[in-house]
């Protein structure tokens, strides 16, 4: 079994996974995704696209999501480095709407970000970040929320030194962002 532990965060649909790592004098090996194991955990998703990003320290990416019918669930994993990873609930009617959870991720851990959540991270150090997603990228459905929206109130590690793309700087606050998700409990 690749997954050693699963922790539901304060928004219980978002889960933190710890993986078994086999390490020796050659390096290490770990399994990140085994379909049957995730099905047993109540995650009936298959991944259709894998993305890899490289970020320098203090880079912020996000907060991104895709509208229905292209909504994505994401299993995100730090290959090398450390990031502060964030999921924001953008499902109308959710008891956690506009609330966020964040964790520091390092190699050996992954975060499950379900559909209906905006996702982003800040690199604490130079980092390589792997995303396994449940639906392909859809430029027409892509949306974002301002990374530093005071209504959401994410406590980023370094706001003064944050480095963002022009696109992410221009993201609207949640109150002005388009989102078409309705809350239905997805916790198994």
Residues known to be catalytic: 64, 131
DSSP one-letter string for 32-63: ---HHHHHHTT------EEEEEEE-TTBEEEE
Cβ distance 99 to 149 under 8 Å? no
- Helix (H) or strand (E) holding 127, with range, is strand 127-133
Neighbours of 4 (CB within 10 A): 12
d(CA 87, CA 40): 23
């Amino acid at each position: 079994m690749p997954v050693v532990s699963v922790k539901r965060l304060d928004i219980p649909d978002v889960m933190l996974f710890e993986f078994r790592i086999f390490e020796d004098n050659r390096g290490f090996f770990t399994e990140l995704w085994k379909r049957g194991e995730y099905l047993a955990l109540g995650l009936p998703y298959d991944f259709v696209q894998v993305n890899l990003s490289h970020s320098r320290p203090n880079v912020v990416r996000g907060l991104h999501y895709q509208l229905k019918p292209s909504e994505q669930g994401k299993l995100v994993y730090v290959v090398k480095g450390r990031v502060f990873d964030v999921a924001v609930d953008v499902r109308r009617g959710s008891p956690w709407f506009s609330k966020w959870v964040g964790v520091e991720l390092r190699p050996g851990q992954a975060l499950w970000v379900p559909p209906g959540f905006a996702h982003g991270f800040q690199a604490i150090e130079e980092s390589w970040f792997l995303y396994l997603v449940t639906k392909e990228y859809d430029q027409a459905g892509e949306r974002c929320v301002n990374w530093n929206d005071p209504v959401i109130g994410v406590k980023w590690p370094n706001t003064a030194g944050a480095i963002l793309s022009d696109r992410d700087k221009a993201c609207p606050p949640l109150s002005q962002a388009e989102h078409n998700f309705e809350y239905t409990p997805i916790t198994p």
